[in-house]
Amino acid sequence: MSGLPASPADWTVRTLDLAGAADKAALLDRTADALALPSWFGRNWDALADVLGDHGLMPAGAAVLVVSGWREFEARDPGAWSVAVEVFAQATAITVLLALGGPDDPGSDDHPRPAP
């Protein structure tokens, strides 16, 4: 998180909720909505990589995208999630954080699971 200002008050935070998202198309639609992307956004992986690297399209200053519901999406469409993670990891104009949930979230890390 080296590119973020020291104070979270200086961050522009957007939320991408993937709960109930069925597939790649839903992920791309919800990402476009969460980031208020222009109507010409191509809704494919290359277009997503391009916009996440375009400082002119992201909020000014330190931009953060918090992704929730990703565990459910990963279970539903692991292939699309794998590509999304690669694209998010390469983002240069925004920092992408995965929400781990809370104590009421059955997929949360707050519920220890036995090691395999």
Residue 40 falls inside a structural domain? yes
Question: Are 73 and 24 spatial neighbours (Cβ–Cβ below 8 Å)?
Answer: no
The pLDDT tens digits for 28-66 are 999 999 999 999 999 999 999 999 999 888 777 778 999
Question: Are 1 and 55 spatial neighbours (Cβ–Cβ below 8 Å)?
Answer: no
Residue 33 falls inside a structural domain? yes
Element holding 49 (H helix, E strand):
helix 45-52
At residue 16, the 3 state secondary structure works out as strand
Domains identified in the chain, total number: 1
**AA identity, residue 34:** A
In terms of Cα–Cα distance, which of 38, 14, 21 is closest to 81?
A: 21
Rounded Cα gap, residues 88 and 97, in angstroms: 9
Residue 82 falls inside a structural domain? yes
Q: What is the DSSP letter of 20?
A: T
Residue 58 falls inside a structural domain? yes
Residue 14 falls inside a structural domain? yes
Q: Which residue has the higher pLDDT, 102 or 88?
A: 88
Residue 113 falls inside a structural domain? no
Residue 105 falls inside a structural domain? no
Query: Which of the four pLDDT bands, split at 50, 70 and 90, describes residue 5?
Result: low
| Domain encompassing residue 28 | 8-98
The CATH number of residue 66's host domain is 3.30.370.10
Residue 76 falls inside a structural domain? yes
